[in-house]
Structure 1
Amino acid sequence: MINKIICFCGLFLCQTAWVQGQERAVLNGRIISNTNDLEGVYVINAQTEVMSTTTVGGLFSITAKSGDTLVFSSIQFKETRVVLTKEDFSNLNFTVKLNLLMHQLQEVIIKRYDNINAVALGIIPSGQKSYTAAERKLHTATALNATANAGTMAGGSLSADPLFNFFSGRTAMLKKEVAVEKKEFFMRLLENMFTLDHFVERLKIPVEYVKGFEYYAVENEKFTKILNSKNKTSTEFLLGELAVKYKEIIASEVK
């Protein structure tokens, strides 16, 4: 008798499991959100633990039935749970909206490391002179490369490029470029240190002569040395002296 009961219960459970398995069908749907990155979202049936993932367009397919709970999980979206109904299986546009997961930073700390530079990292040797673009061209044009022809002649020889550049006038042209580049650098430094109002109201330079006065100032080697030191007090003092002389030049030209 006991064996019959056990057998009956076994058959009943198997039949129930088979019936339940038959009730599940493939559910097609898609997810939507405020982003186009919809691929790779996990879709899990909480009852059967069957899992699927979404495609690039957010489409997914999974076996389920009415009453099952689908869990949508991803690192960029908040976890969403949807309890399925009979209508969901007949809905050709079954859609689930997911909300983006916003990761809020509690605190942002910006640290400045003044000792971290190209020299400290070993990218540039310590003590090496740094060149501007014009200075680099001039250095390349005038540098004597003692190894340029080594191997073609016994003991090697000097490159003829510097001599060619000298006689062709290229060296002189490059020197002028370096001089112009330096003046432009000092002009920018001067304009960043003092406003137009300072020249007009404080130094009493007519506004139409301000640019000419700036060129006049950066031609003075003593002034550019002080300007390059970024000592504003000393720079302002010498600038005042140059302004007096420049206004005298203006006055003489007007006469």
Structure 2
Amino acid sequence: MKKHLVFILVLLISALAMAQEDGRVFGVVINASDDSPLESVNIVNLNQVIGTTTNDKGEFSISARVNDTLHLSYLGFKSIKVRVTNDWLKFGSSNIELTELALALEEVVVNQLKLTGYLEVDIKQVPAPNDNYRYSISGLQGTGYEASKKSGLTKVIGSIFNPADFLHRMFGKKPNEMKKLKKMKEDDKIRNLLASRFDREMLMVLLQVDRVDLDEIVSQCNYSAGFIQTANDLQILDAISECYEEYKLLSRGRSRKI
């Protein structure tokens, strides 16, 4: 009899575990000021690294487990994080409010060349040519990004043999966050989302780094300042991912030698 009770108990625990693994949450995202539904809000499960967007009624559905964190972002609105609760999974849809941001437009100054007709004077006004190489990048067709002439491997190698190096500290001490890079690259919704963004917000949230460290990682991986300033978030993701894969490869090689 006891054996049967233990067997039933095991089945119940397994069923509960499977229910949590296969759970989905449903929700409606609305404008906090007038309760109107918000279409195309970006929702990312930070734990599972999967994404989705709301439909024209503000509705969404995404795979989630208890205590997963959902990150919601929408242009012109304050981004928020929402924790998935057992009640949410059990009882169905929930309304989530986003608050509009008050944005102030900054003055933009456009500098034009004022030619004098004297070659020696005019030539000094022409910006120096960019001597960075240009590389292709996944996710973009017919375009590329810039990196300096010096091999990007140089600083990655340095981070392996110098434990105090910035890349070693970032890659070595944040393995769980960096493992998300592969999942981010595999999820089409997240890739499409990042391809249209330039604010680095999603990357910072997923990788648990601030903007300064994020830019520093790309810089230490030997990408140019021009690339860092103009690249979209997908390009930054691919740049960091490639650099991290090189770091892991070199790190394993060093460990075997030791």
Q: TM-score range by the shorter chain?
A: 0.3 to 0.5
**Structure with more relative contact order (C-alpha pairs < 8 Å, separation 6 or more):** 2
TM-score, scaled to structure 1: 0.32
**Between Structure 1 and Structure 2, whose CA radius of gyration is higher?**
1
What TM-score, normalized to structure 2? 0.32
